[in-house]
């Protein structure tokens, strides 16, 4: 039985504006404080929120570190994250204070994989370069050699992180006749590998040296921070491109920008950045880089489903049951 077991209407503080239907349901079910203005909360505002709430509903834009959690009152027993990644939450600090953490896995898999494919097509085929030229009124007509990119059919894709999203990317890649390779903490069961026609590389460095396209699909953890550091990035072949729809901090962004600038890496498609929403100015200068504002899961369907997961996790917890999407305790 949770500490909230007797509370019919837990006090829930939501840090950002969520889809309308979710906010409406939240207000029906819980004593909820919404952020209709949608301005990101400062550390002090987050501290005030954790001092007051039974349940906090943060997003990727909230840094819930040990300092913020030090302000939490005894009543804060659940952090029901709106999002799958929980790297912005200090799980050790939460655990020490007996705070449970849930997330929203599974419902953003396909959308994020779609966006990964969109970038995977956009960079080699130079789609955004073409768009930019056309909109600037600089297109003077078809020529046989204008904006030639590279074919993706038959190329080798190395997926880093073969969880739900990585596998969804692999399925799509197979449909484009791309050869799927992957690096993961553990090798997938043979039947899954067979289904995805995926080749496992235990050694990431070796895989990087042989790929045409690399897609980052692993979570950000202490182990994956700057997993693609300068030394590793240099293992890539000069014609390789990198796609990142996971977390910016997994790649040393400065090194990536430097290596693309000097032609040691052919390009990148990035939906996530090390210091979001600040973008490394070097990246902004590069034509062979496609930059998107962290929109992997930005579909009405996906964001609504994420909200529904948050609702279910809170309701289950308030009813004294184990919420379905437990990150902490596992």
Q: Are 260 and 232 in contact (CB under 8 A)?
A: no
Point out which residues bind ligand 8YV (CB under 6 A): 59-60, 82-85, 108, 296-297
Output the smallest distance, CB 121 to ligand 8YV, in A.
20
> Is-catalytic flag, 167?
no
Cβ 82 to ligand 8YV, closest distance in Å?
5
**Nearer Cβ to ligand 8YV, position 83 or 158?**
83
Of residues 88 and 210, the one with the C-beta less far from ligand 8YV: 88
- Looking at beta carbons only, is 117 or 265 nearer to ligand 8YV? 117
Nearest CA-CA partner of 216 in 254, 166, 288, 266: 166
Find out whether 61 and 194 touch, Cβ atoms under 8 Å.
no
Instruction: Please give the full DSSP string across 289-322, using - where no structure is assigned.
Output: EEE--S-TT-SHHHHHHHHHHHHHHHHHHHTTSP
CB of 307 to ligand 8YV, least distance (A): 10
- Closest-by-Cβ residue to ligand 8YV is 83
CB of 60 to ligand 8YV, least distance (A): 3
- Kindly tell me which of 82 and 128 has the beta carbon lying closer to ligand 8YV: 82
- In the set 247, 249, 253, 274, the catalytic residue is 247
Q: Token pair for residue 99?
A: 């705070």
Long-range contacts of 190-193 (CB under 8 A, 24+ apart): 192/167
What's the min distance (Å) between Cβ of 97 and ligand 8YV? 21
* Rounded-to-integer distance, Cα 148 and Cα 145, Å: 6
The 8 Å CB, 24+ separation contacts for 223-229 are: 224/161, 224/250, 225/249, 225/250, 226/250, 226/251, 226/252, 227/160, 227/251, 228/160, 228/252, 228/256, 229/255
**Residue 294 designated active-site:** yes
Q: Which residue is catalytic, options 23, 129, 276, 308?
A: 276
Q: What is the CA radius of gyration of the chain?
A: 21
Q: Which is nearer to ligand 8YV, 10 or 307 (CB)?
A: 307
Q: Which lies closer to ligand 8YV via its Cβ, residue 23 or residue 319?
A: 23
Between CA 220 and CA 227, with CA 223 as vertex, the angle to 5 degrees is 75
Buried (b) or exposed (e) across 95-111, using 16+ Cβ within 10 A?
eebebbbbbbbebbbbb
Angle of helix 300-318 relative to helix 20-29, nearest 10 degrees, comes to 10
The least CB distance from residue 37 to ligand 8YV, in Å, is 18
Is 276 among the catalytic positions? yes
Catalytic one among 172, 181, 294, 303?
294
Could you list the active site residues? 247, 276, 294
């Amino acid at each position: 039985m949770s500490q909230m077991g007797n509370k019919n209407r837990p006090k829930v503080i939501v840090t950002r504006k969520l889809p309308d239907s979710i906010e409406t349901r939240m207000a029906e079910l819980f004593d909820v404080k919404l952020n209709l203005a949608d301005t990101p909360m400062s550390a002090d505002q987050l501290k005030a929120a954790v001092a007051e709430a039974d349940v906090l509903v943060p997003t990727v834009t909230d840094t819930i570190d040990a300092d913020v959690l030090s302000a939490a009152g005894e009543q804060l027993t659940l952090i029901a994250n709106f999002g799958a990644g929980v790297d912005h939450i200090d799980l050790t600090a939460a655990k020490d204070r007996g705070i449970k953490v849930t997330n929203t896995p599974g419902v953003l898999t396909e959308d994020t994989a779609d966006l990964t494919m969109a970038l995977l097509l956009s960079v080699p085929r130079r789609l955004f370069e073409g768009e930019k030229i056309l909109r600037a009124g600089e297109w003077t007509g078809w020529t046989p050699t204008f904006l030639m990119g590279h074919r993706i059919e038959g190329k080798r894709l190395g997926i880093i992180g073969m969880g739900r999203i990585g596998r969804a990317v692999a399925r799509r890649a197979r449909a484009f006749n791309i050869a799927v390779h992957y690096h993961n903490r553990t090798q997938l069961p043979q039947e899954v590998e067979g289904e995805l026609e995926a080749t496992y590389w235990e050694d990431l460095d070796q895989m990087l040296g042989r790929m045409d396209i690399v897609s980052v699909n692993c979570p950000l953890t202490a182990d994956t921070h700057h997993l693609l550091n300068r030394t590793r990035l240099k293992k890539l072949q000069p014609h390789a491109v990198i796609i990142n729809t996971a977390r910016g901090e997994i790649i040393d962004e400065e090194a990536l920008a430097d290596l693309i600038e000097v032609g040691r890496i052919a390009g990148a498609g990035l939906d996530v950045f090390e210091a979001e929403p600040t973008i490394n100015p070097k990246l902004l200068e590069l034509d062979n880089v496609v930059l998107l504002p962290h929109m992997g899961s930005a579909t009405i369907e996906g964001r609504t489903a994420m909200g529904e997961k948050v609702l279910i996790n809170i309701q289950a917890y308030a009813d004294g049951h184990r919420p379905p999407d437990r990150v902490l305790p596992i």
